[in-house]
Amino acid sequence: MDQEATERRVERWIGRILRFGVWASAGLMVAGLVAAWISDGALRIPKENPPATEVLRQLLAGSLEPTTLIFGGLILLMLTPLLRVLTAAAGFIVEKDHKFTLVSFVIFLMLVGELAYSLR
Amino acid sequence: MTPESFLLLVVGGGIAGTIGAMLGLGGGVFLVPFLTLVFDLPMHQAVATSILAVIATSSAGAAMNMERRVVNLRLGMVLEISTVIGAIFGGVTANMLSGQVLSRIFATLLLVVSFLMIWRVRHFRQDHSPAEEGGFPASYKDESTGALISYSAKRVPLVSLIALIAGNISGLLGVGGGIFKVPAMNMISGVPMKAATATSNFMIGVTAAASAFIYFAHGHLNPFIVSPAVLGVLGGSFLGIKINRRIKGSLLTWMFAGVLLIISVRMFTR
């Protein structure tokens, strides 16, 4: 019964993380689009998409430029599945399920490795 | 971008999301052709946009399914190892191919998907593997009957191989891959259809995330195209789930299989 209660709690937490990720990212995208419309009076699509490293630099600097806000939403959306995998791993640790803790960390490390390699 | 174009993106995304949710697919098979044929968006940007949309719909749907306890979390995590590997290779490969080649591959995929949609309706398993026969035992309460369904998954290595291929297609073409994973889990592993669909939906977000960063790093994410499309798909998928409960599935499947065939021809001849 304890095992089932723990599983239920883990599943609820994963659901919450997913919901938060989706709605927070949608909120940032909407904020960015509204800000772009207000500041420019139009949505001007840049001729070239900004480099990923430049976007990250601006995000870390706390820029509130419309494009940065939108990218912030998109990056949060991309990170939501990673957070989900990490939450599942935490759940498996609590359940003392070592096999699936390992599986979860393998997936997490693959995703982080791919992220780091892409942005090198 | 004009207000009309912006609205068209949101509405187009919304339609893709609605149809995808009604048919148990991600919106990608409809969104990518919409972006390339209607907006004349370069294929790589269309694929990148679709991948973000898949993450959004997967995450939103999975949140509901987790709370209903239909997702087989352990099975999904094991299969994710293969799909993530496949998706990473798919994303890397896509950025080595020209837009024209990707477009042709996508058109071929649409042909395959349209046939698979029909085949799935006719052949999906009504029974399932008993809980004591396979691995990854799980159970869920069927909302329509109130019955507790206990099952297990057999032949997981074979399904993992199919998941690897599905992941590769996802990374390459910006689709979720559920059209391959769901039949594999249901017909090969004996997972009940509802659990297979929920588990697949849970997985495709991670699969898409695996290749999303590759497209981001290559500069294929246009924020003013991606964001309205993703917001539209998100809204559409919620609507699609509500409508889905009221409409007979097989007629829709035939209709949209036909639509996909037409789109496939259009993409081949473009």
**Among B51, B55, B68, B88, the residue to mutate for chain A (most A Cβ within 10 A):** B55
pLDDT of A43 reads 62
Residue A46 has pLDDT above 80, yes or no: no
Least confidently predicted of A14-18, A67-71, B113-117, B150-154: B113-117
Indicate the average pLDDT of chain B.
85
Residue B254 has pLDDT above 90, yes or no: no
Give the B window 21-80 contacts with A, CB below 8 Å. Answer: 52, 55-56, 58-60, 62-64, 66-67, 69, 71, 73-74, 77-78, 80
User: How sure is the predictor about B83, in pLDDT bands with cuts at 50, 70 and 90?
Assistant: very high
ipTM metric: 0.88
Distances B180 to A10, B10, B107, B165, B253 between C-alpha atoms, Å = 28, 28, 16, 9, 16
pTM above threshold 0.95: no
Distance CA B207, CA B81 (A): 9
Write the CB contacts of A28 (distance below 8 Å, at least 6 apart in sequence). Answer: A69, A70, A72, A73, A76
Distance CA B112, CA B223 (A): 31
Task: Give the mean pLDDT of A110-115.
Answer: 90
Task: State the residue range of the domain holding B95.
Answer: 3-269
Residue A47 has pLDDT above 70, yes or no: no
pLDDT of B39 reads 86
Task: Give the mean pLDDT of B243-257.
Answer: 67
| Number of domains composing chain B | 1
DSSP element (H, E) containing B139: strand B135-141
* Digit-coded pLDDT (tens) for A65-109: 888 889 999 999 999 999 889 988 998 998 899 999 999 999 999
Q: Which residue has the higher pLDDT, A37 or B163?
A: B163
Give the B window 222-241 contacts with A, CB below 8 Å. Answer: 222-228, 230-231, 234
Residue B249 has pLDDT above 60, yes or no: no
